[in-house]
C-alpha cells in the first residue's frame, strides 16, 4: 500500500487567511485526489490533481478557492483560500493503487482545519 504523508495534521486559522496543505506519497502515482470531510459528514471529492496539467474540479469547487499544485508524481498541494468558518473540515489526500487497476484508494491521515 502507498504511504501518504500530509502536513499540517491540524491547524487553527483566522478568517480571511489562506493555508496550504501538502501531500507526499512514497511512490510515483499518476492521479492524486483531494477530498473534504466536513464535521460528521461524508467524503466529498474536491478535485483530481494530475501531473503536468490543470487540476480537474468537481461541481461546487473552484480553482480560485482551492488552488492545487502537482509539480511531480509524488507531491501535491491544496490551498484553502480566504478561509471562512464554513471551511472548517478535514482535508484528505488520496491516491489509487497503481499498476493494479483495482480502483482502491489510499488516504492520508488528513489535515483538520478549524477556522475562527
Partner 1 sequence: GENVEQHPSTLSVQEGDSAVIKCTYSDSASNYFPWYKQELGKRPQLIIDIRSNVGEKKDQRIAVTLNKTAKHFSLHITETQPEDSAVYFCAASSNNDMRFGAGTRLTVKP
Q: Does 24 bind partner 1 (CB under 8 A)?
A: no
Contacting partner 1 (CB under 8 A), which of 68, 108, 113, 115? 108
Of residues 38 and 82, the one with the C-beta less far from partner 1: 38
Query: What is the Cα–Cα distance from 55 to 1, expressed in whole angstroms?
Result: 24
β-strand partners of 36: 44, 91
Least distance (Å) between residue 76 CB and partner 1: 15
Q: How many residues bind partner 1 (CB under 8 A)?
A: 19
Of residues 14 and 42, the one with the C-beta less far from partner 1: 42
- Interface of this chain with partner 1, residues 29 to 88, rule: CB under 8 A: 31, 33, 41-45, 59
Q: Does 105 bind partner 1 (CB under 8 A)?
A: yes
Least distance (Å) between residue 102 CB and partner 1: 7
Q: Does 26 bind partner 1 (CB under 8 A)?
A: no
Q: What is the DSSP string of the chain?
A: ---EEEE-SEEEE-TT--EEEEEEESS--SEEEEEEE-TT--EEEEEEEETTSPPEEPTT--TTTS-EEEEETTEEEEEE-S--GGG-EEEEEEEE-TTTT---EEE---EEEEE-
Contact residues toward partner 1 (CB under 8 A) are: 31, 33, 41-45, 59, 92, 96, 102-110
Amino acid at each position: 500500500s502507498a504511504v501518504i504523508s500530509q502536513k499540517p495534521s491540524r491547524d487553527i486559522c483566522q478568517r480571511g487567511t489562506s493555508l496550504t496543505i501538502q501531500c507526499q506519497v512514497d511512490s510515483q502515482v499518476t492521479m492524486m485526489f483531494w477530498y473534504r470531510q466536513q464535521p460528521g459528514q461524508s467524503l466529498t471529492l474536491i478535485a483530481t490533481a494530475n501531473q503536468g496539467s490543470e487540476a480537474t474540479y468537481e461541481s461546487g469547487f473552484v480553482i480560485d478557492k482551492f488552488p492545487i499544485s502537482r509539480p511531480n508524481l509524488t507531491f501535491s498541494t491544496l490551498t484553502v483560500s480566504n478561509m471562512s468558518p464554513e471551511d472548517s473540515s478535514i482535508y484528505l489526500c488520496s491516491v489509487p493503487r497503481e499498476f493494479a487497476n483495482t480502483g482502491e484508494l489510499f488516504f492520508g491521515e488528513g489535515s483538520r482545519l478549524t477556522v475562527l
